[in-house]
Amino acid sequence: MSKRGLGFLEDKLDAADVSRETNRYVLSLIPYEETTTYVTGTRNGPRAIVEASGHIELLDETLRVDASSHGILTLAPDISDLGSVRAHVSRVVEEHPGAVLGFLGGEHSITPAIIEGSRSSGIGIVWIDAHADLRRSFHGREDNHACAGLNALQYGQIVQVGVRSLASEEADFLEQSGQVKSFRYWNDQAKDAIRGLPGRVYLSVDMDGFSPMLVRGVGTPEPGGLMWEDVMDILDFLFGEKDVFAFDVVELCPHEDDVVSSYTAARLVYKVMAYHTYHKLRGLLPPGR
C-alpha cells in the first residue's frame, strides 16, 4: 500500500503544489537496508532527500526549465523486503503509464528488484558507482548490495562510470564479460559505450560515485570519484541520446552534521527530472491540475 506524506519539493516556504492529476514524474521512497557492511543508515536516505528538497529552487539555473510544472508525485510504500519492492514497482508501472519513475533508496540491492518489477528486459543500464557490485555473493548473500550489478545484468547491458574499487573476482569478470563496461572516469570511451546501449535505459546512481570531497554521507566513501559537473554532463548526454524510463538514487547515509550530502542528493534527483524536461518535454504544455 502506498502512502502519501511529505513529498519531494512540497515543504518549500512558498508552498509549491507540485503534485497534479497527471504527473510525469513519480518518485517512490524505498528505505530498504539489510546488507550494508560498513557505515549504515541508507534506510534514512529517502526521507533525508525529501526533507532537503524543500530548499531547492524550482527553476533550473542552467537549463531554464521547471520540471515541477509537469507534476511530481511522491509515494511512500510499505517496504519490508525485496519482494515488496518488486510488487510496488509493478503497481506503479500500471498506475502511471508514461511517467518517468524515480526510486530513492536505500541500499543498492533494490536496483535489480526495481528493474524486475518494471518487467523490463533488453534494456541498457547506466550505473554510476564507486564499486562494480559484481560479486556473486557477499557475506553469505547473493542479494547483497555488493552483488547488485551482477543481479541487474540479466535485464540488460551495463555501462559503469566512476568505478575505482574492485575485488579480484570482479576484475576477472570484467575482463571476461562483454556485457559490462566499466570506467573510472567520464570520458569519450564511456560516452561511446553508452551510445552502444539499447535506446531504452535505466539509470542507477550510487552516491559514492561522487568524490567524497562533495559527498561524504555514504557507506564506503572511496577516494577519487566524479565531481558535480561530471555527473551533470553524463545526465545531459544520456537524456539527449537515450530514453530514460526510470532511475534510482541510492546509498545516501545521512548525518545531522552533514547537510551537504543530503542536499546534493536532492539536487541530483531534481536535476535528473530537469534534464528529462529539457530534452524530452520542451514545447509540451504541463498537464492540468
Burial class (CB in 10 A: 0-12, 13-18, 19+), 12: middle
Q: Which domains, and CATH codes, for the chain?
A: 2-281 (3.40.800.10)
3-59 pLDDT, tens per residue?
Answer: 456 799 976 655 567 988 899 999 999 999 999 888 899 999 999 999 999 999 999
Whether the per-residue pLDDT at 102 is higher than 80: the answer is: yes
Amino acid in position 225:
G
C-alpha 198/C-alpha 181 separation (Å) is 14
123-175 pLDDT, tens per residue?
Answer: 999 999 999 999 998 888 988 999 999 999 999 999 999 999 999 999 999 99
C-alpha 82/C-alpha 90 separation (Å) is 13
Amino acid in position 234:
I
Q: How do strand 72-77 and strand 2-3 relate by DSSP bridges?
A: antiparallel
Give residue 287's pLDDT.
75
Q: DSSP characters for 45-86?
A: HHHHHHHHHTTS-SS-TTT---GGGG-EEEEEE--SSHHHHH
* Average confidence (pLDDT) over 108-131: 97
Among 242, 150, 56, 139, smallest CA distance to 160 is for 150
232-287 pLDDT, tens per residue?
Answer: 999 999 999 999 999 999 999 999 899 999 999 999 999 999 999 999 998 787 77
C-alpha 130/C-alpha 212 separation (Å) is 10
50-86 pLDDT, tens per residue?
Answer: 999 999 999 999 999 999 999 999 999 999 999 999 9
